[in-house]
Structure 1
Amino acid sequence: MGSSLHAPYPPPLSEEHLLALQADIQDWQLTHGSLIKMYTHNEDRAVLARPIGVSMFPTLFPKSCFSHALELQESYNELYANIAEDEGWLFDVLQDLILTDPFTRALWGVHEKVKEKGYIQPLTLGIFRSDYMLHSPEEPREGECSRLAPETSDLAPEPTIKQVEFNTFSCAGGTHGNIVNAMHHHLARTGAYDLGTSPQNPITPSALPTAETTTSITSGLAAAHTAYGLPRSAPATTTAILIAVQPNNINICDERPLEYSLWAHDPAIPTYRALFPSDITARTTLTQSRELLFYPPHATLPVEISAVYLRAAYDPAEHDSAGIAARTRLELARAIKCPSVLAQLATFKKVQQALSLPGAVERFLPPPRAAQVRATFAPMYPLDDSEVGRRARALAADAGAAERFVLKPSLEGGGHNVYRGDIPRVLEQVPEAEWRSYVLMELMRPPSLSNILLAGRGVYEGRVVSELGVFGVCMWRRRDGGTGAEIVENRQGGWSFKTKAEEVDEMSVIKGYGCFDTPCLV
């Protein structure tokens, strides 16, 4: 980047200035719904909430890497749409998991049941998110700062982006990210980050990109609603979107604004929440021609569901017999799914690892775009009985070698990964036959930057690392009599940005590890 900045970052504000800035941030969060709902057993049914973790300052990030990540999203959308419509390839990748992992087996069983009766809806909606971290080609020497830092040396290597994971299911953070991004823009406009006479502060409104993720997600859902068309079955007289959510949902401030935006659409798009699996079982029925009817509370007539947006059903515990029955009903329905069960299976880490093999990406994308996507991959290895898998097993079982790796199961929701020296200890507790359900991924070396985080675990000041999540909206049609997807709509859908303390491994903001943030592009 060749930045010429030499002032310390974040800007060295006085203690009084920092306290005033923290108060402004807390007021913004309280008045804009930047909150996590807390459930208690109080008899008075009080509604409690806490601010979600946020950064006090935007975190430095290279403009070229940010632009590159956004440019890649349409190719990533198309890649995963094609994977979701290639049942044979997906089965080959997941067959070990289907044998050893009850969750994978349950999801594949749902697919088999629906396939037996015949898929009735050729359209699928994908609301995706591709997560990246910066990766330095060489680890800086002790005491040497990243090239991103204002006190940087021009000799430090240029960072690149490497993909942490690709998410096809219940991609959260869009609304939270928008709120925090707007907050940082507001603080920059009002001079909250000003250093007086010093010209060295990089935090200017023009250096902060604008996130419009909430609008992109709702426009994608609206497009699926429109594509479904008019209601087909009496007594329903209107169509509606159904959002499947978890009970005792603490993340309503990320989900509810999507629902409110759809109701405020012109014309209004009726949108209802349904607890998974209880409301799916109790409040929906399938007609003979497989329209999905939903009976809203206190309504006399049902609505016909045009699209089902799943913000639940990603946890293995949700797929007991009731969960499997509910998921099968949704998958059988004519309603457009976001995502389908095969698109959910495509988000598993085994798929991400399989794509790193020669020729895999090229199966789904033209060579030039496949090469661009492949350049973002971090090395990943199976723990199976292949030659590569046996070498990876040896690395994972060696405490010294394992310091370079993270062990990933095929689970979503954060908090499931195992890092560095803990890997051998965890694998010792897992039967070797189940090792193949994990993948081993080389850890990235992000540049070490500084910030102040107002996290769920308290105020943190020190070294941080960040993660850029790029959203994508993609609707596709299953090709008749073959594999692959016919793309109907495909676009980059905004972004979210998260930052955590350098010594913390997990990034999940909802679970209190990381904070929502805004990149300050340099």
Structure 2
Amino acid sequence: MAPPERLDRYPPDLSDEQLYSLVTEIKDWQINHGSLLKVIDTEIEHTVLSHPVGVACFPTLFPRARFSQALDVQEIYNRLYCSVGEDEAWIFNAIRDLIPAEPLADVLWKIHQAAKKSGSVQDISMGIFRSDYMLHLSDEDLDSVPSSKALPETTLKQVEFNSFSCSGGSHANKVANMHHYLTQMGAYNVDDSSFDVESLPANKNIESIASGLALAHRTYGEPRSKLAKQTAVLFIVQPYNFNIADERPIEYALWNREEPVPTYRLDWGPKLLQYTRLTENRELLFQPPWLLSKDPIEISVVYLRAGYEAKEYNPTGYEARLQLEKSAAIKCPSILGHISTFKKIQQALTLPGALEHFLSKSDAAALRETFVPIYPLDKTDAGLYARELVRDKEHSVGYILKPSLEGGGNNVYGEEIPGFLASVPESQWSKYILMKQIDPPMSSNILMSSAGIDSGDVVSELGVLGCCLWKANPSDGGCDMLHNSVAGWTFKTKHADIDEMSVVKGYGCFGTPRLVDI
């Protein structure tokens, strides 16, 4: 039997030959499994360029108890955000100061109001959610971490909750499979030390998300319009999309089911209005010229992977999103579900009694354990307190300023906050929230991306994906859950001296947690 591995010396030092062999294995695996990002505007006849997505060469150490905790609370988080998405009054109260300051909040709220005037013809909604966490060291452990442990004692703290176009699921699935393969074939067995594949959790994101969309499709049922003979799921995607390897696998999984679910994709913008229309009863019909059938297809589920930014909502974008929202198709997500992804909603849920408005006391307590202090920057008492916290560089250390924008690269950190706010009109401050910084422990790893191959101290972020389907319940203002499940997870790792985590923007790398007991 191989001797047990010294986790305090993980990952092991590699010779040049060992590192070359591992890197070659990773490159070949990524090419063969589509773990790639497309390079836009490189298509020439049968050629298109791509490059592998950034990955951690080794799985990264992560405490088993904290991983289990994140999975255990996901169904509670799912129920919470389903309920939030049905509570118009609560949402408006939470974002009333955001609407005049943030153009995206303003246009989404206007679309919601316009759709509401026409009356709802679909009371079922779908959510594909992701709750992101980092490990947090207690104050006494920040300065000294016991050298005898691979990982110190930590708590699990939420970075953010995503309810709109949660990306990374397919990439994470593929990278987890890659690390399982490399473990099984012995790539990590250095100096005869053992590496247990059972320490790597399985990941079924692609299958789970496809199953959730298939359930929503079945729930919609047969075509309601006499003009259509079949129903289908419609992905709304960004034009010139470099992240197709994260979206397409879900489409393929839907087509490849034992009972195939017809699935199509359509670019956001003019094409959406050109190739879809509403019937008198507001069924959403899809009829593009590249499908030869003369019969339109009735859309059962609209899955949005576009519409992140205010600039996408020009008059055409506005009308396109409004048409989707007014339709009988099940939306993933609805407009109110989209709005609930804003950081202002996350901040409002930390207020005393907010969770208890939606959840039992015990469920609220389980979620509150994952919270860190978050403050508004408005003129409420909490907002004025936050403004005092960031009045100078000394006081602002340990805080992060976050806008309600997606995709990474938008945050302002620590001592940079006072100068940044001084450059922003005070009328715009309410678009930001102030979050206490999470202080994660450092691990070691080798990261491999378009920036190169480099080893050193790293920190990681665990995302837990959830799928849910629910029906609005006007009688009590809440919702009835039709389906609620944990779909899988994402795991991102970055060098410890880098603030942002987005992989597709080049900050972090996808990886796999190696679960350890501490």
Paired position in structure 1 for 2:398: 404
Deviations 1:243-295 (A, max 9, x none): 00001100000000111111111221110101002221110000000000001
Q: Is 1:469 equivalent to 2:470 in the alignment?
A: no
Amino acid across the alignment from 2:125: T
Paired position in structure 1 for 2:117: 116
Paired position in structure 2 for 1:89: 90
Within a 5 Å distance, the mapping from 1:209-288 to structure 2 comes to: 209-288=201-280
SS of the residue 1:29 aligns to: helix
Structure 1 CA distance, aligned partners of 2:444 and 2:139? 19
Q: Is 1:152 equivalent to 2:148 in the alignment?
A: yes
Within a 5 Å distance, the mapping from 1:36-185 to structure 2 comes to: 36-40=37-41, 46-138=47-139, 140=141, 144-145=144-145, 151-153=147-149, 158-185=153-180
Paired position in structure 1 for 2:364: 370
Residues 208 and 324 of structure 1: CA distance in aligned 2, closer, same or farther (over 3 Å):
same
Q: Is 1:334 equivalent to 2:328 in the alignment?
A: yes
Amino acid across the alignment from 2:165: S
Q: Is the 8 A contact 2:127 2:333 kept in 1?
A: yes
Structure 1 CA distance, aligned partners of 2:476 and 2:8? 59
SS of the residue 1:279 aligns to: helix
Structure 2 CA distance, aligned partners of 1:314 and 1:197? 49
Q: Is the 8 A contact 1:457 1:513 kept in 2?
A: no
Residues 497 and 42 of structure 1: CA distance in aligned 2, closer, same or farther (over 3 Å):
closer
Moved more, 483-492 or 74-83: 483-492
Residues 426 and 258 of structure 1: CA distance in aligned 2, closer, same or farther (over 3 Å):
same
Q: Is 1:187 equivalent to 2:182 in the alignment?
A: yes
Quote how far apart the aligned CAs of 1:13 are. 2.4
Q: Is 1:460 equivalent to 2:447 in the alignment?
A: no
Residues 157 and 186 of structure 1: CA distance in aligned 2, closer, same or farther (over 3 Å):
closer
Residues 42 and 369 of structure 1: CA distance in aligned 2, closer, same or farther (over 3 Å):
closer
Aligned equivalent of 2:286, options 283, 291, 294: 294
Q: Is the 8 A contact 1:87 1:483 kept in 2?
A: no
Q: Is the 8 A contact 2:42 2:49 kept in 1?
A: no
Q: Is the 8 A contact 1:6 1:152 kept in 2?
A: no
Structure 2 CA distance, aligned partners of 1:7 and 1:60? 10
Quote how far apart the aligned CAs of 1:44 are. 5.6
Quote how far apart the aligned CAs of 1:40 are. 2.7
Quote how far apart the aligned CAs of 1:153 are. 4.4
Paired position in structure 2 for 1:14: 15
Structure 2 CA distance, aligned partners of 1:92 and 1:508? 30
Paired position in structure 1 for 2:34: 33
Structure 1 CA distance, aligned partners of 2:149 and 2:33? 40
Quote how far apart the aligned CAs of 1:172 are. 0.6
Deviations 1:462-501 (A, max 9, x none): 0000000000001010113441111110011110101000
Aligned equivalent of 1:513, options 498, 507, 518: 507
Deviations 1:16-66 (A, max 9, x none): 111100000000000000000001367667410001000000000000000
Structure 1 CA distance, aligned partners of 2:379 and 2:125? 35
Quote how far apart the aligned CAs of 1:298 are. 3.3
Amino acid across the alignment from 1:503: D
Mind listing any 5+ residue stretches in structure 2 that lack a counterpart?
none
Aligned equivalent of 1:343, options 324, 337, 340: 337
Aligned equivalent of 2:432, options 417, 430, 438: 438
Structure 2 CA distance, aligned partners of 1:247 and 1:449? 38
Structure 2 CA distance, aligned partners of 1:361 and 1:282? 42
Q: Is the 8 A contact 1:397 1:427 kept in 2?
A: no
Structure 2 CA distance, aligned partners of 1:60 and 1:171? 24
Residues 24 and 366 of structure 1: CA distance in aligned 2, closer, same or farther (over 3 Å):
same
Structure 2 CA distance, aligned partners of 1:6 and 1:338? 42
Quote how far apart the aligned CAs of 1:396 are. 2.1
Paired position in structure 2 for 1:197: 192
SS of the residue 2:139 aligns to: coil
Structure 1 CA distance, aligned partners of 2:45 and 2:190? 47
- Number of paired residues? 511
Quote how far apart the aligned CAs of 1:6 are. 5.5
Deviations 1:408-441 (A, max 9, x none): 1111122211112221222112110110110000
Quote how far apart the aligned CAs of 1:97 are. 1.1
Structure 1 CA distance, aligned partners of 2:367 and 2:43? 51
Quote how far apart the aligned CAs of 1:157 are. 5.2
Quote how far apart the aligned CAs of 1:7 are. 4.2
Mind listing any 5+ residue stretches in structure 1 that lack a counterpart?
none
Quote how far apart the aligned CAs of 1:402 are. 1.5
Q: Is 1:447 equivalent to 2:441 in the alignment?
A: yes
Structure 1 CA distance, aligned partners of 2:27 and 2:260? 33
Aligned equivalent of 1:321, options 315, 319, 338: 315
Q: Is the 8 A contact 2:42 2:48 kept in 1?
A: no
Structure 1 CA distance, aligned partners of 2:350 and 2:412? 21
Residues 467 and 7 of structure 1: CA distance in aligned 2, closer, same or farther (over 3 Å):
closer
Q: Is the 8 A contact 1:65 1:160 kept in 2?
A: yes
SS of the residue 1:365 aligns to: coil
Moved more, 479-488 or 328-337: 479-488
Report the identity percentage.
49
Q: Is the 8 A contact 1:138 1:157 kept in 2?
A: no
Quote how far apart the aligned CAs of 1:314 are. 1.4
Q: Could you state the TM-score of these two structures normalised by the residue count of structure 1?
A: 0.95
Q: Is the 8 A contact 1:133 1:466 kept in 2?
A: yes
SS of the residue 2:397 aligns to: helix
Q: Is the 8 A contact 2:86 2:336 kept in 1?
A: yes
Structure 2 CA distance, aligned partners of 1:235 and 1:77? 36
The Cα RMSD (Å) is: 1.6
SS of the residue 1:255 aligns to: helix
Aligned equivalent of 2:199, options 168, 187, 207: 207
Structure 1 CA distance, aligned partners of 2:334 and 2:13? 49
Residues 196 and 136 of structure 1: CA distance in aligned 2, closer, same or farther (over 3 Å):
same
Q: Is the 8 A contact 2:85 2:336 kept in 1?
A: yes
Q: Could you state the TM-score of these two structures normalised by the residue count of structure 2?
A: 0.96
Structure 1 CA distance, aligned partners of 2:46 and 2:97? 47
Structure 2 CA distance, aligned partners of 1:166 and 1:257? 23
SS of the residue 2:485 aligns to: strand
Moved more, 54-63 or 308-317: 308-317
